[in-house]
Structure formats: C-alpha cells, structure tokens
Copies of this chain bind each other. A is one copy, B any other.
Amino acid sequence: MDLQKLFKPKSMAVVGISKKNPLSPGRIVLLKNEFEMDVKVYGIYPNGGDLEGIHLYERLDKLPEIPDLLVIAVGPDDTLGYVQDCVDLNIPSCVIVGGGFAEIGGKGKKRQQQLEKIAFDNDIAVLGPNCLGVYAPPLVDTIFLPTERITRPPKGSVALISQSGGVLVDQFFNKFFERHIGVSTAVSIGNRAVVDEVMLLEYFSKVDPETSNIAFYLEGFKEGRARNFLKLAKESDDTVIVFFGGKTREGKVATQSHTASLAGDYKILSAALRQYQIVLPNSERELLTSLKVYDVLSHRKNPFGKNVITYGNVVIVSVSGGHGVIASDMLKKYGLNAVRLERHEKKDLKELLNPSAREIASFNNPIDLTGSVIDTDIEDVIKYLSDIERIECIIMLLLPYPPNISFQIGRRIANVVSTKNKPVVCFVPYVAKYSLIIESLELAHIPVFHSIKEAVQAVSALKHRTRNENVKKGNLFWV
C-alpha cells in the first residue's frame, strides 16, 4: 500500500463541512489547510456555494482534479459511501476522522470490517477511523482542533505515530514545541483499521527521506502484527522508539474501553522489544529526552559529529556542589559511569581556573567549579575534558547565578563543542530570563534540558543508540 499520497498530498478534498457550526471538524480542516498549509484544498458541500471566500463543490466528481487525499468528516453511516467514491474516482488515500466503528463494538465492528474489505481490495490507504489523522508540515494538517488552541512542533527528523489523538496533541505536541523537538510527520492512527503501525514503520523507515527517528505511542500491537513490526524494526536504519500506555492492570482496563486493544504482559513484551533493537523508554519524559537527542544527531549541523559512540562514561561539571550530588545519584540508575579522573588531570584542571575558584573548586567527578567560576573557566575545562578519550560525554550543569557568568557563556560552550565534537548535554534551569543562554546553545544544536534528570537520561539515550547500532552491525559481543 502506497502511503506517499497520504503524507505528501499535492491536493486534498474535505467532506463533512457545516455552514452553520464553525467548530465542525470538516470545516476546521478545510479552513486550516486553506489558510495555514501548502496543500491545495477543495471543500465539498451538497448545495455548493462558498465559505469564508472558499468555493465549495457539490460533489467529488465535480472537482477540477482528482485529489491525492480525501478527509472524511461525516457520521459513521455516511462514511463508507465516501470510501467507495475513492475507489470509483481513483482517490488513493483518505483520513476518516469520525468514530462509530470497532471501538463501539456490535454494528460498529461490522462497519469496520466492511471498511477494511473495500480498502484492502482496492488498495486505498485509509487512516483511521476515529483519529486526528496527519500533520505533515508544511503540506497538510487534518487535525480537526482549532490551531489556535493547540501547539505545533517544529519541522525535524521524528516521525511520531500515536494510537491516541489526545496524547498526540497534548503530551507530544506541547512538549515537542516546548523542547524544540522536530517532527517530519505526526500521525494519529485511531482504530488503525487499514493503515497500521507496521505499514507506517515500513513507510517512514524505507520511503520517507525526511525521517531518521520513528517514535510510537501504542497501547498494544495490532493483533497478529507484532512479529512484522519487530522484523522491520530490526532491519531499519532509523532509530525506532516505542512507548506503551496501559502498562498496569488498571491502565489495561482503561485501554480496553478506549481503543479496544490489549497491552499484553508488559514485562515479557519489553524484553522482546529490546532484543529487536527497539528503544523502550520507561517514562514519557525519557521518551522526550531521547527524541530530543536523536533529533539533534539527525540534524545536518549535528555538533557532535557523525559517529557518536557512548557506552555511558561521563563527566559531570557543575557550579554548585548540590547539583553535582543530584546528578551523581542518577548516573547509577541509568547505567552510566562517572569517569575517574587521574591525579595529573585534576592538577591540570585546577591550574586552568581563576585564582578564587581554584582554591575552593573540587575535581572529583562531579567537578564543582563553585560560584566563583568565570566564563573562561567553564570554556577551558570543557576543552580539556573533551580531549580525554575515555570521556565520552560531558554533562554540563549550567546555573546562571554565579555573578561572573556572562550572557556569552552559551556561545562560548557552543564554540568549544563545534571544534571538539565531544557530546555535551547541558542543564539550564527553565526561567524566561535565561533564554539568551539557552538559545545560544540551541542555535548551535546543543541539547539543553531543564532538569538534571533529563540531562542524565539524554546520555542514557545515547548509550542505547550506540548499543543498537553495534548490534545491527553484527558487533554482538558488547550487548
């Protein structure tokens, strides 16, 4: 099944527009694509006329061209007729936003079976039903919530596939936006009657050149599809990340009334997935942190260089002893290792500092440069540590409180990283007035996190990626 036209349509049509209700899904989709997106969009309305200056066509067969995509936003009883129209008019793909299918059981289940038959027999790429559809910037956005009410993540390397539309726009869109994690395409799969996680994994892995990281929020695999998913994940050159909702018994009960899937025993499942080189975050935050780092690594201007190899050997640099303590606490939890510094290295580091910091700084890993630190101390310490080969990554806990740290500090660190190519992940507290520092780092694609935990998780994500790449290359002994 060809998904190209579903995700990269040149033209699309929308059925199910209300002239009376400004908040009807069809109307929202028509207007947001007309005014905000690049796709050519046509509205269908039985009596024709126009809506906010957009001409409406009476029927699909009256359109001036065959659209690549049809968005169906009508009630369940009318939906199948429009899918049949796709067959008759050679429209290759459609998004069904409405519910009333398998998720309500009974006749809805039967309706979904009919839908599946039409789609598979005629090779129509149907997304949904019961979904928000596709957000593929800058082309198309079928998410029928008013754009001014939601956030949109920036463009980037992550294909994001979610079984829950609510989780997609809330948990993911807001947090991608907040953290500047870029998506290539976001997909809400709803009941996944036709297009499912396996087809999507195949498309984003093999066809879509914009995607390097494929992230799934699932409540369970579609029945009978787990094996194909695992096989594709193992073969993929992209990083595949799966996060499961519904891990506990309570969660499972909730899932059953939500999209009628079953999570299975999570422990058994997760062991299997890891064997197939799938990254499996333990929390939503860990997922976001991993994606942020992977998105940076996939960027053309990735400051860490092409071959980032991290088995988890890190140095923590802070300007506050307490912060070093918290970060050290977390290393063990994430299977990371604080590199032991040699006596001569400690001596060298001490000599790099300004006289007042030199007296009170501490050079056990975590390194505490103290509140007497100045910009060049941080710069020189990172430079020095970058040249030590057994250090694979530096966690920089950057508090802007010491009075001699200037607004240049972000730029200074960025310059060191761009010459040394040693992975540096930064923690900077999230306060509006520190934006200048945060932006200087992020402009140079250095990932900045707003909690110590996330900075540590980021290194753990690099380690997982190194491990998976080793296994894929057949370098098995390290596992």
Residues in A lying within 8 Å of B, measured CB to CB: 23, 28, 99, 104, 145-146, 148-151, 162-171, 174, 177-178, 217, 219, 245-251, 253-255, 257-259, 283-284, 318-326, 328-329, 331-333, 338, 360, 362, 364, 366, 368, 371, 399-404, 429-431, 433, 451, 453
Contact A329–B167 (Cβ < 8 Å): no
Across the interface, do A170 and B324 meet the contact criterion of CB distance under 8 Å? no
Taking the full assembly, how many copies of this chain does it contain?
A: 2
Extra contacts, 13 of them, besides A165-B322, A178-B431 (Cβ < 8 A), are A149-B401, A151-B431, A164-B320, A166-B318, A166-B322, A170-B401, A178-B430, A248-B328, A250-B329, A250-B332, A254-B325, A258-B325, A258-B368
Listed A/B pairs (27) with beta-carbon separation below 8 Å? A23-B403, A99-B360, A145-B402, A149-B400, A149-B401, A149-B403, A150-B401, A151-B431, A166-B322, A170-B320, A170-B323, A171-B326, A174-B429, A174-B430, A178-B430, A245-B322, A245-B329, A248-B329, A248-B332, A249-B332, A250-B332, A251-B328, A253-B328, A254-B328, A257-B321, A258-B362, A258-B368
Question: Bound complex: CA of A4 vs CA of B150, how far in Å?
Answer: 50
A329 lies within 8 A of B251 (CB): yes
| A166 smallest CB distance to B (angstroms) | 2
| Chain B residues, CB < 8 A from A325 | 164, 219, 245-246, 251, 254-255, 258
Q: For the complex, what is the distance from the CA of A265 to the CA of B200, rounded to whole Å?
A: 49
A326 to B163, CA, bound (A): 13
* A249 surroundings in chain B (CB, below 8 A): 332
A171 to B251, CA, bound (A): 32
Inter-subunit contact A164/B400 (CB<8 Å)? no
Instruction: Say whether B324 contacts A258, CB under 8 Å.
Output: yes
In whole angstroms, what is the CA distance A245 to B366 when docked? 14
Pick from B149, B323, B366: contact of A167, CB under 8 Å: B323
- Contacts A151-B431, A403-B23 given: A253-B364 contact, CB under 8 Å? yes
A401 & B248 in contact (Cβ 8 Å cutoff): no
Contact, CB under 8 Å: B146 / A257: no
Residues of B near A174 (CB, < 8 A) are 429-431
A470 to chain B, nearest CB (A): 25
Cross-chain contact A166 with B399 (CB below 8 angstroms):
yes
CA distance A100 to B332 in the complex (A): 31
Q: How distant is the Cα of A401 from the Cα of B165 in the complex, in angstroms?
A: 11
B167/A322 in contact, CB under 8 A: yes
Kindly list chain B residues whose C-beta atoms are within 8 Å of the C-beta of A332: 248-250
* Set of chain B residues within 8 Å of A163, measured between Cβ atoms: 322
- Please give me the residue from chain B that is nearest to A365 by CB atom: B254
Q: How far is the CB of A372 from chain B (nearest CB, A)?
A: 10
